[in-house]
Amino acid sequence: MKLVECPRDAMQGLHEFVPTALKIEYLNSLLNVGFDTLDFGSFVSPKAIPQMKDTAEVLDCLEWSTKTKLLAIVANTRGAEQAVGFDKISYLGFPLSISETFQYRNTNASIAEALITVNAIQDLCLKNSKTLVVYLSMGFGNPYGDDYSVQHLIDFTAKLNAIGVQIVAPSDTVGSSTPVLIHQVFKDLIAAFPQVEFGAHLHATPETNIEKIEAAYLAGCRRIDGAIKGFGGCPMAADSLTGNISTEQIIDYFENKGVDLGINKSAFQQAYNLSSKVFQYE
C-alpha cells in the first residue's frame, strides 16, 4: 500500500504566503515519516499559484536521505523542463481534466492541447529518468455540465497507456464522489488496465473520509493521497473547498486492517504538530 502525502495541495490555496523557511522545516519533517511519496511543490506560474513561487528554493534544502520519493506538479512543458533538471525529483504530476471547462480553468488550454502537452512531458520524463503521474481531474463527476461517465475515464486512460504513462490518479476535484462511484471507477479501470498503477486523489468532508478510503481500497486501489488534518482543496475549482482525505484517518484505517504502511509514528506526530504553524496562514 502506497501513501502519498500532499502538502503542496494543502498549501497552495492559502491566502497568506507561508515563509520559505517554515515550508522547508515542515516538508523535512514529513520526509522523516516514511510516506511512499511527498507531493511537495509545483513548477507553475507564480501568478497562478503564488504560494509555490519558492519551490526551487525549497527543494534545494530538502533532505534526500529518506525512502520517500518527491513529486512536483507541472502545468506545461516549461514547468516540466525545469522540474526534470532536479535529481531529487522522482515524479512529475500533470493535471489532465476530462472536463473541457475545467481544463481551461486549470491550465488555460483545451483537452486536445493538454494531451499534446502530456506527450511532451512524458518524453521529457523518459529522457530524464522521471516518472509521469497523470491526475484525471473531475474524475468523479462534473459540476460544469460537461459529459461525465466512467467510460470517459477509460477512454482517457487508454490514450495515456498508449504513450507509456504508468501511474494514473482519478481526482475528486470538487468532492463530488460517492463510495459507490469510487468503487466502480477503480474496479473498472483496474480491470481494463492491469498494467497501470492507479491512485486515488479524493476530497471529502471529515465524516466521509473513511467510507471513501474503503471504497477505493476494496476496489483494488493501492495508492492513496492524503494531507494532514485534511487541509487543502483545489483553488481553481471552487470558492468553497472540500478538503483532502486526512492522512491520520488513512493511517488509522489501514492500521485497523493490519496493513503496514511503514509509518514512523513519532515522526508523524512531530509533523502533525508542526502543521498548525503552517496552516495558520490561511
User: Do the beta carbons of residue 169 and residue 197 sit within 8 Å?
Assistant: no
User: Which CATH number is 2-281's, of 3.40.47.10, 3.40.50.150, 3.20.20.70, 3.20.20.140?
Assistant: 3.20.20.70
Q: What are phi and psi for residue 128, nearest 5 degrees? A: -120, 20
Share of the chain above pLDDT 70, in %: 96
193: nearest Cα among 228, 168, 223:
168
pLDDT tens digits along 90-148: 999 999 999 999 888 878 889 999 999 999 999 999 999 999 999 999 999 888 888 89
Predicted pLDDT at 15 = 87
Does the reported pTM lie above 0.85? yes
Predicted pLDDT at 69 = 97
Please give the angle made by the CA atoms of 266, 269 and 273, to the nearest 5 degrees: 145
For residues 162-178, give the mean pLDDT: 93
Q: What share of the chain is helix, strand, coil (3-state, %, to 5)?
A: 45, 20, 35
For residues 220-241, give the mean pLDDT: 73
pLDDT tens digits along 44-61: 999 989 999 999 999 999
The answer to whether residue 151 scores a pLDDT higher than 80 is yes
Confidence tier at 233 by pLDDT (50, 70, 90): low
Domain boundaries in the chain? Answer: 2-281
Predicted pLDDT at 236 = 38
Q: Which residues contact 67 (CB under 8 A, 6 or more apart)?
A: 34, 36, 262
User: Do the beta carbons of residue 173 and residue 105 sit within 8 Å?
Assistant: no
The answer to whether residue 241 scores a pLDDT higher than 80 is no
User: Using CA atoms, how far apart are residues 11 and 146, in angstroms rounded to an integer?
Assistant: 29
For residues 149-176, give the mean pLDDT: 94
Predicted pLDDT at 107 = 82
For residues 71-81, give the mean pLDDT: 97
DSSP state of 203: B
Give 246's strand partners.
227
